[in-house]
Structures are given as structure tokens and as C-alpha cells.
Amino acid sequence: METEPAQPVTGLGDCGLTWRGWLDSPPEVRKPRAGGRALLVSYLFPPTGGSGVQRPAKLAKYLPTFGWSIEVVTAGHHRFPWFDPSLLEDVPADCRVHGIAGLEPAALAKRIGSRFEDSIYWRLARMTGWLGLGDGEALWVGPAARAALRRHREQPFDVLISTGPPHFAHRVAIRVARATGLPWVADLRDPLVIDYDRTPMSRREASAMRRVEQAIMRQASLVVTTVPSLTEDLRGRYPGRLPDSIWTVPNGFDRDDLRAALKTAAGARAEANDCVFVAAGAWYGRRELHRVVEPLQRVLERNPLWGGRVRLVMAGTLDGQQRQRWEGQRPAWLTLAGYLDHASAIRLVAGSACAIVAVPDCQTGRLTIPAKTFELLALPTHVLALVPPDSDTEQIVATAGASHVAPLEDSTMVASALEHIIGSHFAGILAANRDWPVLDRYDRRMVAAAFADGLASVCGPITSCHAACLQDGAGAHGGAS
């Protein structure tokens, strides 16, 4: 090895529970007494797939457990990169979902209809680009706000929730809250001004996002983030806002999803004669696949006996630039599986030797945690976290155990970590057993309970200790984006 991998972390001891025993023993969740009717504004919602839809889908699934009846205002089309109808199982039968056809190109093309729908869509999309409106999806805002106001007049809501990205969902909430005076909880899963892409936001776009952020910080009754570092960033930049009105409520994992996907006794682990890495999720912008492929290529060249025994499966989407590169020239051991439905992705990771989480070292990377991280940690599979040093992602992965961490941009450390993991796997000593109860605070029921406390706090007194417990835990172990 060229150097020791950064923070190789094994399991944190025998906690008295097997993984299956822990999975079947969810933590006790006390139910707050408050409740009411909540309108959830989210442009993305099942059957749209991808990790970004998990937060609104799980809120719709679990908030009714705590007395909150949920209605949803979402996009009225399904022209998205990912489609996963299995996620509709998360939506309660009595949850009213209003798909609003706005003025964005996808909705207009669908409304016009005909065998030329695709051609119409692309023409409209080019037109919005020429007009400086990007992909035009934000043209959904006005129709969505009007639909939300109609529903409020028909049957009043007690509280308003908006979740993004895409962050124009908060612009809908701004209009509705101003018109109705409803208390509003703004759920910011990512920063509004980002530097995740290879090219920075334009000055015009960044300025527009700052104005939206300022309106949120002025008007929202409660601002919720999914990671402590973003909470502290907002508190520092908006000192005039009460610190207690900005909360951290992390993302998490759903035991129901894991049990449904893995019906075998313990989830099939990779065989000792085959070392499979799974890189799940979308790779785009600064999250570049070559930062894994090239170090792994060097490792395999140094260890010819591992030839044919190591594979990397990329289970997710690549941006156009990366797709063009890797579809044209990829090593035999690299598989581009494309987008997989949620259950298939869980099964693939559970059957692998190691799952990979990648976060570039930029401001956005340090203010977010990939939502998939919690689900990966809730599986009996080793995790390689290629993440910024001293970040919230590094902290939670190291605390959970059975993991290695290294900076994505340091190819020498990445190669060293890969080599260590492969060698440990073939020696039969690669750790996959975590201190499972540490992860209980990220069970989706616990997360929903904390969010319910947030709703109660803007509509009345907080009635349970979940919010304090989760915020304390997030500060100690990280959050999610």
C-alpha cells in the first residue's frame, strides 16, 4: 500500500444484536398529542423515483402516525429521469395528492398531447432556455400556489410544509403563507446557492436564489435543515433570526423498505471469491466517477491475482459528460447498471462487499449528506465514504462503524482504502457489523416524530422530546441532505 487508508473503522463491538434482530426491533416512538391538517408542497413525489423523493414520501407516510393529515401539491407530469411506481406504496390511501399541471414545458406538452408530445416538449424547453428561464420547471409556481389556495378555501389547513430541492417549491409556500397567514415550515434539504456543478451558478441565478433564501428566513415560522452544518451556516448568516427557529431534522432509513427488499434471513453477502463495490445514486458535477475508477485501476494493476475477482457496479445515473466518457471506454470490471428501482438498489448493495458514498469537497458538499447514506449504513455491508475531511458525512459514517473514509479528491488515499478493503474481503475479515442501535435515531419513524414536533411548535407547544433528542444526536453524528 502507498499509505494507510484514512480512518479504517471496524464494528464497534458486539451490541448484543444481530443485524436481523436489530432490524426487527424498531425503537419506541412516543406520539405527540398535537395534530391537524398539513399541506405538503413538493415538486417531486411518487411515482417519481430517486433519492430526492424519499423525504416527502416518508413525511406523507409517517406524519399521519403523529396526528397530521397530509395533502400534497406536486407536479402534474412524470417527465423526470427516474420513475419508480413501487414508491406509491409509501403514500397512505387517504392522502390526497394533487398533481398540478403548471406552465412548465413538460406540463404544457402533456396538456397539448398528440404523437408529437416529445417534439413539443423539446421545443418549449429550448424556448425557456432562450428566455433565461432555465428548464422552465419554475413556471409551475403560480398554478401550484393558486391550487393550494383553492384547497385551503375548500377545507382549511393548519400548517404549510414546503420541501426542496427543487427550491422553487418554497416560492409556492411564500405566496400561500402571505395570502393565508398559515404557519409555514420550510424544509431545506440542500443549500439554495450551490457549487456542486463543474461550473458555478451564474450571478443571476445565485442572486435569485439568495432572494428566495432571504424570503424564507424572513417569513417561515420554522426552517428545517437535514444537516447540522447547514443549520449553523444559516444561524450564522441570519443572526436576527432566533436560533431555536432553525432545526436539524436528518434524513434516515425505513425498516419497512429493508424488510420488503430483503426477505432472506440476512441479505445475501458477497461470496469471498468475488469482491463487488456498488456506487449507488446519481453521479454528476463534481461527483466524478473517474475518482473511483482510476484509483481502482491502479490497485488492480498492482495486484494481478485480483484480476477478474473485483467488480465496480455503478447503480444510478451519470450526467451527460460522464455518460459519454464511460459508455465509450470502460474497463471490463466496471458495470453501468443505470437507474434501479428502490428495492433492487437495496438488494444490490446488500449483496455486495462494499457500498460507496461520494461527496466532493466543496461548500455544498460540506453542507449536505447524501440521503442514501443512512440506508447504506442500515445494511450489513461495509461502507467506503469518499467525503470531505471533518464533514458531517465523515462523522456519521465513522461513528456508525464498519467503514473506511477518505477524501474523494485524494487519489492516493482512495486507492489505499480500496486496496485495504479488497484485501480484507478476500481474507474474510472485512467488517460489516455495526453498533446497530446507534442508527436508531435515523429510523424514519423517529425522524417523522421530530418533524411532527416541529409542526406542533408552530401551531402550539411541543409535546415530546423527539426534537431535542434528534437535534442532539444530529449534532453528535451528522445529518442528511
Q: Over the stretch 112-161, which tens digit does the pLDDT of each residue have?
A: 777 777 777 667 777 777 766 677 778 899 999 999 999 999 999 999 99
Cis bond upstream, residue 47 (ω within 30): yes
- Phi and psi of 403, rounded to 5°? -155, 160
C-alpha span between 365 and 412 (Å, rounded) = 20
Q: Is residue 166's pLDDT more than 90?
A: yes
Query: In the prediction, which pLDDT does 199 show?
Result: 83
C-alpha span between 87 and 341 (Å, rounded) = 9
Distant-in-sequence contacts of 294-298, Cβ < 8 A, 24+ apart: 294/411, 295/411, 295/412, 295/414, 295/415, 295/418, 296/333, 296/415, 296/418, 297/331, 298/415
CATH 3.40.50.2000 fits 29-252+442-477, yes or no: yes
Give the pTM: 0.88
For the segment 394-412, the average pLDDT, to the nearest whole number, is: 96
Percentage above 90 pLDDT, the chain: 70
**Domain 29-252+442-477 and domain 256-438 have a common topology:** yes
The helix/strand/coil state of 122 is: helix
Percentage above 70 pLDDT, the chain: 88
Q: Which residue has the cell 409509501?
A: 90
For the segment 13-27, the average pLDDT, to the nearest whole number, is: 77
Grid coordinates belonging to 321: 459528460
Residue type, 43: Y
Q: Over the stretch 290-314, which tens digit does the pLDDT of each residue have?
A: 999 999 999 999 999 999 999 999 9
Most confident of 5-9, 204-208, 357-361: 357-361
What DSSP letter does each residue of 143-172 carry, written as one string?
HHHHHHHHHHHHS--SEEEEEESSTHHHHH
Q: Is residue 69's pLDDT more than 50?
A: yes
Residue type, 37: R
Q: Is residue 5's pLDDT more than 50?
A: no
Domain boundaries, the chain: 29-252+442-477, 256-438
Residue 120 CA, chain-centre distance (Å), reads: 32
Residue 466 — pLDDT band, cuts 50, 70, 90?
very low
Q: Which residue has the higher pLDDT, 324 or 223?
A: 223
- Phi and psi of 39, rounded to 5°? -105, 120
Q: Over the stretch 335-354, which tens digit does the pLDDT of each residue have?
A: 999 999 999 999 999 999 99
Task: Domain 256-438: give its CATH architecture.
Answer: 3-Layer(aba) Sandwich (3.40)
C-alpha span between 176 and 173 (Å, rounded) = 5
